[in-house]
Amino acid sequence: MAHEPSGAPSRPRSRTSDAADRIKDLILTRRLRPGDPVPTESELTDTLGVSRSSVREAVRTLSALGIVDVRHGHGTFVGELSLDPLVETLVFRGALQPGDGLRALREVIEVREALDVAMAERLAEAARGTHDADLWALVATMEESARDGETFAASDRAFHAALHALTGNSLVGPLVAAFSDVHTAVVRHLGACLPDDLAQTARAHRDMLEAVEAGDAPGYREAVRRHYAPLVRALDAAA
């Protein structure tokens, strides 16, 4: 006779969780897009066969996740589906590791570098033979900041998000920007681990852009590694 696995019993799903899942399914099956209106509370109660209170709590849950946008006096709409909740969760996770924040930051840097490297071929194909004036302006801003001994987190974030947008992948750009936000916030909490060579970091962005516009995926990957090397050195020195 089979035995149940040991350990704490699984917690039954709440009515709120079930209602939230049904609302998400409804959004998908009706092919609603960001900004489209979601059925009213009464309509959801009737359509889903759940109580009004469960619908109300489910909408609150989905609103906190950015899946729906509740506009008081106007109704509920499909949200813009930003990654802000992910950023908040990851930042909080890093802050909850007292004495281990450096490891959390290293993990964030590893993810950022992995995302950049993974898209090398796609970027080289998308950018080959082009000249993006906006990206080059961001490179110039970072190099100027480096010469002045100033950090440039905002320009760095904008560069990576805009660069990955060239691939046409609607997820990777926001995901890259989200992990950049996590990185900035965790650094702020730690109050340390800034790159030890701003000039190298800024120059690496120039090399990354030159490489993809030349269709050079290996050159881009090498430039990415040079970009993150000062951050890794700073972490090693602080460990």
Every domain of the chain and the residues it spans: 15-78, 84-238
Helix 120-127 to helix 101-118 angle (10° resolution) is 50
Class of domain 15-78: mainly alpha
Give yes or no for a contact between 178 and 86, defined as CB atoms under 8 angstroms apart. Answer: yes
For 125-175, the three-class secondary structure string (H helix, E strand, C coil) is HHHCCCCCHHHHHHHHHHHHHHHCCCCCHHHHHHHHHHHHHCCCCCCHHHH
Q: Which residues contact 88 (CB under 8 A, 6 or more apart)?
A: none
Q: Which residues contact 178 (CB under 8 A, 6 or more apart)?
A: 83, 84, 86, 87
| Cα three-residue angle 70-75-79, rounded to 5 degrees | 45
2 vs 35: CA distance, rounded Å: 50
What CATH code would you report for 84-238?
A: 1.20.120.530
CA dihedral for 184, 188, 194, 198, sign (positive or negative): positive
Give the pLDDT of residue 87: 63
CA dihedral for 72, 74, 79, 80, sign (positive or negative): negative
Give the pLDDT of residue 116: 92
Ranges of residues in the chain with a pLDDT under 50 are: 1-12
Tokens describing residue 180: 């950049």
SS3 of the chain: helix, strand, coil, percent, to 5: 65, 5, 30
